[in-house]
A and B are shown apart, each in its own frame.
Chain A
C-alpha cells in the first residue's frame, strides 16, 4: 500500500510538469488555431539550456529557468515570424493542417541540429541536492520534483493572472475567442499572435529546464513530450489552463500507477490508451465543458 501511495505521489509530482509542458501548446492552439507539433523540440531546447548552463558555468537549473524562458520566447517569436505567420491567411482547416505539417518538418530540423551540435547522448543535470528527499509517513518525496511542481504551479498561476487580470492578457483571450471581433475593437491581432507563440515557446523553455533537472535530455526526447502535451491538452479540454493542469496531474498519476501494475515499460502506453479512450468517448476533454 505504501508502495502504491509512493507511486501516486510520484505521479502527482511528475504530473505538474506534464501540465506545464502542455499549457504552451494549448495557448498557441487556443489563440492561433495552430498545432505546433514541434512543441516537444522546444522543450528539448529548454532542457539543453538547463544542461549547458549547469555544465559550463555551474548555474543552478532553478536560476536557468529565467534565461531559458527568455531564449525560448525569442525562438518562438522567430519561428512564428519565419514560418507559422505565413499560414494566417488560410481558412481554419487548412491552417491547422499546414501548421501540423510545418511542425513535423521543424521537429526533424531541430532534432537533427541538436544531434549535430550536442551529439545523440542522453544528458542529465546532477545538482548537489539532486538526491535530497523529504520523508512523510514512510512515503518519500523527492525535493527536486517538489520544487518542479512548485515552479509549475507558480508559472501556471502567473499565466492565469496575466491572462485574466492584465490588458495584454485579456487581448490574448479576446483574440482566442473571436479574431474578427478582436481586431474590430482595435486589438493588434498580428502582435497578439506573435506574442502568444512566443509565450508558448517560453512555457516550453521553462518546462524543458525543469525536465533537465529530473530526467534525461536528448535530441530524440521531443516526440514523446509532444505526445504527452497533446494528451494533456486534449484531456484537459482545449484552451483551459486549469483543466490542462488537472489533466497533467491526472496523466502523471495514471502513468505512475499503471507503471506500478504493468511494469515501467508500459507506462507511456497506458497514458496513450487512456487518451484514445477519452478521445473517442469524451472529445471535449475530461475537464472541458461540452
Chain B
C-alpha cells in the first residue's frame, strides 16, 4: 500500500505542478481557454457531487446557484466592487439561497427535492430573463485589459478548493455522516446522525461552491445574457460529468470534466447538434450500466477481487456496502 500511496502522491504533485504552470508553459490561448472551461466544469460538477454524490440528494436546480452567483458577482464587480469582494458576496448569496431553499425542501422525502429545486431554478431563469433582458457585456476599458491568465488561476483555485472539500468528506466525521444518510437515513438517525442537519449543511456547501463557479463564469465571460447562467444546461452538464467520472468519488468529477470537454470539442465540430444526442445516450448508459462511472472501471482494474467489507466511502450511491 505504501508504494501505491507514494506513487499517487507523486502523480498528484506532478498534476498540480503542471496545472499551476500551464499558462507559462503554453502561449496558445486556445489551450488556456479550454483549460479554464475544464476547471470551471470540474468545479461545478464537484459542487454538485458534494450533495448528490456524497449525501445522495438529487438537486435538479443546481443552475439556480450557478446563475445567482454569476449574476451577483457580475453586477457587483461591474458596479465597481473589487473582484474578490464581488466573488465572495456572490458565493454568500448562493449560500443564503441554499439555506432558504434547503430547509423546507430537505424535510420532504421522495421526488420532492428534485422537483422543488427544478422549480426554483426555472422561477429564477424566467424572472431574470424578464427583468434583465439585456446582454451583460464587459465595458470597453476592462475588455482592452482582458487576459485569460487571472481567469485561469481563479478557476484552478476554485476547482482545487472544491475537490479538496470532497477529499475531506472521505475522511471526516461530517463526510461519514453524509454517506450514512445516503445509504440509509433511518439507520443514520439511529446511530445518532442528525440527517436533516447534515443534508442542509451539504446543500448549502454545494450551493455556495456552485455560486463561486458562477462567479468564475461572470469573471471569465465577455458577454452573456443573465438568464443564460440559469439555463438547465448548468444542471445537466455537471450531472453528466459527475456520473461519467464517478458519482460520490473525489476524482470522478475532474476526470469526467476532462472527458466531457474533450468529447464536446471533438463532437461539436463534426456533429453539431448531434453531439447532445451522444451525451444523452452516454449519460443513460452510465446510469443504467455503469453506475460507478470511470472510477468504477479504475477500481475494478486495480482490485479485481471483491472489495473489503464495510462501507466503501468512495463507492457509488447504488452499490451495497
Contacts and interface: CB of A to CB of B under 8 A. Distances in A.
A224 B121 CA distance: 12
B214 to A, nearest CB: 21
A104 B240 CA distance: 10
Interface string B86-128: 0000000000000000001100101110111011101100110
B134 interface: no
Given A94-B317, A100-B58, A112 B123 contact: no
A272 B119 contact: yes
A285 B294 CA distance: 40
Given A116-B274, A272-B122, A100 B318 contact: no
Given A106-B280, A279-B112, A283-B112, A98 B60 contact: no
A276 B273 contact: no
28 contacts: A35-B114, A35-B115, A83-B284, A96-B111, A98-B287, A98-B291, A100-B114, A102-B288, A104-B283, A105-B240, A105-B283, A105-B287, A108-B280, A111-B276, A112-B274, A112-B280, A116-B274, A224-B122, A231-B119, A234-B115, A265-B126, A266-B126, A268-B122, A269-B127, A276-B119, A276-B120, A279-B108, A280-B104
Contacts, number: 110
Interface residues of B, number: 39
A105 B284 contact: yes
Interface of A: 29, 35, 37, 83, 86, 90, 94, 96-98, 100-102, 104-109, 111-113, 115-116, 223-224, 227, 230-231, 234, 265-266, 268-269, 272-273, 275-276, 279-280, 283
Contacts of B317: 94, 97
A266 B130 contact: yes
Nearest to B130: A265
Contacts of A112: 273-274, 276-277, 280
A224 B123 CA distance: 11
B174 interface: no
B81 to A, nearest CB: 29
Contacts of A96: 110-111
Contacts of A94: 317-318
Contacts of B241: none
A223 B118 CA distance: 10
A175 B146 CA distance: 62
Contacts of A283: 108, 112
Which of B104, B119, B281 has the most C-beta atoms of chain A within 10 angstroms of its own C-beta? B119
Contact of B123 (A97, A108, A273, A280): A273
A279 B105 contact: yes
B167 interface: no
Contact of A83 (B120, B277, B288): B288
Interface in B231-266: 232, 236, 239-240, 243
B153 interface: no
- At the interface, is chain B mostly helix, strand, loop or mixed? helix
Given A105-B280, A279-B105, 11 more contacts: A37-B60, A98-B318, A100-B58, A101-B287, A104-B283, A105-B284, A108-B276, A266-B126, A279-B115, A280-B105, A283-B108
A39 to B, nearest CB: 12
Contacts of A98: 287-288, 291, 318
B225 interface: no
B187 to A, nearest CB: 13
B189 to A, nearest CB: 15
A146 B126 CA distance: 29
B134 to A, nearest CB: 15
Nearest to B56: A97
Contact of A108 (B118, B119, B283): B283
A111 B291 CA distance: 24
B176 interface: no
B279 interface: yes
Interface string B123-150: 1001100100000000000000000000
A29 B115 CA distance: 13
Interface string B155-197: 0000000000000000000000000000000000000000000
A155 to B, nearest CB: 24
A206 B104 CA distance: 35
Interface string B190-233: 00000000000000000000000000000000000000000010
A113 to B, nearest CB: 7
Contact of B239 (A101, A113, A269, A279): A101
